[in-house]
Amino acid sequence: VGWGGGQCCDGDEDALNDAEVNGNWTPQEKALHEARLKAKAKRRLRKSSSRNSTSESFSESGDVAGGDPNSPKGKVNTNDRKSRTGKGRGLPKKGGAGGKGVWGAAGLVYEVEEPDVRDPNYDEAAQGDTVYATVVPEVDEKELEKMVNPIVQEYFEHGDTKEVQMLLKELNLGPHKYEFSSLAVSLSLEGKASHRELTSRLLSDLSGKMLSQSDMARAFDKMLKELPELILDTPEAPQMLGQFIARAIADHILPMSFLDCYKGKVDCDHARVALDRAAVLLTMKRKMVRLDNVWGVGGGQRPVKHLVKEMNLLLKEYLISGDKAEAERCLRDLEVPHFHHELVYEAVVMVLESKGDTASHMMIKLLQSFWKTGLITVDQMNRGFQRVYTELPEINLDVPHAHSIMETFVDLCYQEAVITKQLRDACPSRLVSINKHLKI
Answer with the one of 249, 282, 315 that is the final residue of a domain: 282
Answer with the one of 250, 282, 314 that is the final residue of a domain: 282
For the beta carbon of residue 275, count every other beta carbon within 10 angstroms.
22
Q: Are 340 and 324 in contact (CB under 8 A)?
A: no
413 shares a domain with 324? yes
How far is it, in rounded angstroms, from Cα 53 to Cα 48?
9
Identify the pLDDT of residue 291. Answer: 63
Of 220, 143, 132, 213, nearest to 174 by C-alpha is 143
Is 287 inside any structural domain?
no
346-352 contact pairs (CB < 8 A, 24+)? 346/308, 346/311, 346/312, 346/315, 347/315, 347/384, 348/384, 348/385, 348/388, 348/406, 348/409, 349/388, 349/395, 350/315, 350/319, 351/405, 351/409, 352/388, 352/395, 352/399, 352/402, 352/405, 352/406, 352/409
263 shares a domain with 358? no
269 shares a domain with 155? yes
Is 57 inside any structural domain?
no
236 shares a domain with 189? yes
User: How would DSSP label each residue in 288-303?
Assistant: -SS-TTSS---GGGS-
Q: Residue type at 317?
A: E
324 shares a domain with 234? no
343 shares a domain with 256? no
Identify the pLDDT of residue 440. Answer: 46
Q: What's the pTM value of the predicted model, to 2 decimals?
A: 0.47
Model confidence over 30-55: pLDDT tens digits?
Answer: 888 888 888 888 888 877 766 665 54
423 shares a domain with 368? yes
How far is it, in rounded angstroms, from Cα 314 to Cα 109?
91
Identify the pLDDT of residue 8. Answer: 46
323 shares a domain with 212? no
Answer with the one of 248, 282, 316 that is the final residue of a domain: 282
- Number of domains the chain is built from: 2
Identify the pLDDT of residue 224. Answer: 92
Rg, Å, the chain Cα set = 54
Is 187 inside any structural domain?
yes
Identify the pLDDT of residue 2. Answer: 38
256 shares a domain with 153? yes
Identify the pLDDT of residue 84. Answer: 59
How far is it, in rounded angstroms, from Cα 40 to Cα 33?
11
Is 65 inside any structural domain?
no
Q: Say whether 246 sits in a helix, a strand or coil.
A: helix
Side-chain half-sphere CA neighbours of 203 within 13 A? 32
Is 34 inside any structural domain?
no
Is 109 inside any structural domain?
no
Is 218 inside any structural domain?
yes
* Ranges under pLDDT 50 in the chain: 1-9, 55, 57-67, 73-74, 285-289, 434-440
316 shares a domain with 244? no
Query: Residue 225's domain is classified under what CATH number?
Result: 1.25.40.180
365 shares a domain with 435? yes
In which domain, by residue range, is 382 found? 300-439
Residues in the chain: 440
272 shares a domain with 332? no
Is 3 inside any structural domain?
no
Identify the pLDDT of residue 306. Answer: 78
